[in-house]
Amino acid sequence: MWKNIIAIAIGSAMGTSLRYYLNLVTLTTGYPIGTIVENLGGSMVLGFLTGWFIIKISREWLKVGLGVGLCGGFTTMSTLASDSVFLFLEHTWWLSVVYILVSVGGGIMCALVGYILGQKVGKRQGFKGVQQE
């Protein structure tokens, strides 16, 4: 168990550092290019690792270190994409569609609710940010 936790911690630190660096070098574009690269790249890497680990018996700490740690630290989109493919291939297409809609729609709704709550708390504390007309 401790090997797994240490592997996840190291992988997470690496993935998060890569994500941070990629965001820094793409900030000047004005578009979330770094995020797009992270999400698509992380999805590709996690899909590859998942397929690879199914075929190749590996140590558990390596699986969780690269999957949960590195890919999880680099992006959360990779898990959404990988789970969607798994649901589509191993269960039914409609379950995959529902999962995607709930994940994306729920994520957008949570972001909206969090944004609204953040503005309310900020206003109570005297923060004067962007005003809605």
Annotated binding site for Na(+): 72, 75
Residues with Cβ within 8 Å of 49's Cβ and at least 6 positions away in sequence, in order, are 63, 66, 67, 71
Q: How many degrees, rounded to 5, is the angle at CA 43 between CA 34 and CA 113?
A: 65
**Would you list which residues are annotated within the binding site?**
72, 75
Neighbouring CB atoms inside 10 A of 113's CB total: 10
Of 35, 65, 67, 61, residue with least CA distance to 48 = 67
